């Protein structure tokens, strides 16, 4: 705790000096209801890991007034790309779509989407994981299995290919939310679902479930997703990202920023996230 307070004090001094030099600015932080990153409702409202990260970033940028606005993904990107001084925490980076944004240099590498089953049925799925990861092509040949996914979600190539395969025999059910997915798996109305480890952990706790779930990697799927901070590309946005990058380069700052993830990740995934480096540096 002493190291964390010391780091914040040092960064506060840097931020205050910058704010004094440039005049006090304003940052609008756009958010979207996406538990357990940002939690809008329920007994855990405001305690999501991205909620906590915003409080950490706000404390590290005392030269600005901070406003948090609830929105949707579409609205959040529209606001960020059409006016200065707007930022969005915990986003994926797609320069082809989000051309009018600047991103933090160092992303958090968090677990990608995986196949989730009830732990009591794990042995039934081991034949599809001869290489250690679930072979979706092989699993798709079993017409006795039924899986679930969120219709509007981009699961990336490996899972998207399975969902759209014309020769797939396994049955699939679309849902509108992660809450529905986990509930259907809990009720044994689905044999497997596609979800991230963090959201499975959240809904298990939020729905007060006693079930244990096995979260399995998918063959040829990404081991991790990259979570960035994005800001508008105007003078204010660029200045904010520069200060955030300096903060995240400090060991104490990085440790504080990733710490809220520890509640929702297993020890191996959290250790991986805590050691995150930009993709080009991974493996050095």
Check if the beta carbon of residue 101 is closer than 8 Å to that of residue 81.
yes
pLDDT tens across the length of the chain (284 residues): 444 444 434 334 334 433 433 457 999 999 999 999 999 999 999 999 999 999 999 999 999 999 999 999 899 999 999 999 999 999 988 766 667 899 999 999 999 899 999 999 999 999 999 989 999 999 999 999 999 999 988 898 999 999 999 999 999 999 999 999 999 999 999 999 999 999 999 999 999 999 999 999 999 998 888 999 999 999 999 999 999 999 999 999 999 999 999 999 999 999 999 987 655 444 44
CA–CA separation, 174 and 74 (whole Å) = 22
Report field, pTM of the whole predicted structure over 0.85: no
CATH number for the 2-110+224-281 domain, one of 3.40.190.10, 3.40.50.300, 3.40.50.11540, 3.30.200.20?
A: 3.40.190.10
**DSSP for 94-126?**
-TTT-TTEEE-SS-EEEE--EEEEEGGGHHHHG
Distance of CA 17 to the CA centre of its chain: 32
Q: Does CATH number 3.40.190.10 belong to domain 113-216?
A: yes
Distance of CA 18 to the CA centre of its chain: 30
Residue ranges covered by each domain of the chain:
2-110+224-281, 113-216
Which of 150, 233, 181, 202 lies closest to 41 in space, CA to CA? Answer: 202
């Amino acid at each position: 705790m002493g190291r964390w307070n010391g780091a914040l004090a040092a960064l506060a001094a840097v931020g205050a000096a910058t704010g004094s030099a440039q005049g006090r600015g304003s940052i609008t932080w756009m958010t979207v209801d996406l538990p357990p990153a940002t939690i809008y409702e329920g007994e855990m409202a405001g305690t999501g890991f991205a909620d906590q990260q915003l409080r950490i970033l706000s404390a590290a940028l005392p030269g600005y007034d901070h406003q948090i606005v609830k929105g949707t993904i579409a609205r959040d990107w529209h606001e960020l790309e059409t006016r200065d001084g707007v930022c969005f925490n915990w986003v994926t980076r797609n320069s082809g779509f989000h051309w009018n944004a600047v991103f933090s240099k160092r992303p958090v590498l968090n677990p990608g989407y995986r196949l989730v089953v009830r732990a009591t049925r794990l042995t039934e799925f081991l034949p599809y994981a001869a290489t250690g990861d679930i072979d979706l092509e092989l699993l798709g040949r079993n017409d006795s299995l039924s899986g679930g996914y969120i219709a509007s979600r981009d699961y990336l190539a490996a899972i998207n290919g399975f969902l759209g395969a014309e020769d797939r025999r396994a049955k699939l059910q679309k849902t509108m939310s992660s809450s529905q997915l986990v509930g259907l798996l809990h009720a044994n109305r689905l044999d497997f679902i596609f979800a991230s480890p963090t959201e499975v952990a959240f809904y298990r706790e939020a729905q007060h479930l006693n079930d244990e779930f096995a979260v399995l990697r998918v063959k040829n799927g990404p081991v991790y997703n990259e979570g960035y901070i994005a800001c508008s590309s105007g003078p204010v946005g660029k200045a904010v990202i520069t200060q955030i990058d300096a903060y995240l380069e400090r060991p104490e700052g990085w440790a504080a920023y990733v710490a809220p993830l520890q509640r929702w990740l297993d020890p191996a995934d959290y250790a991986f996230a805590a050691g995150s480096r930009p993709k080009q540096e991974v493996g050095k």
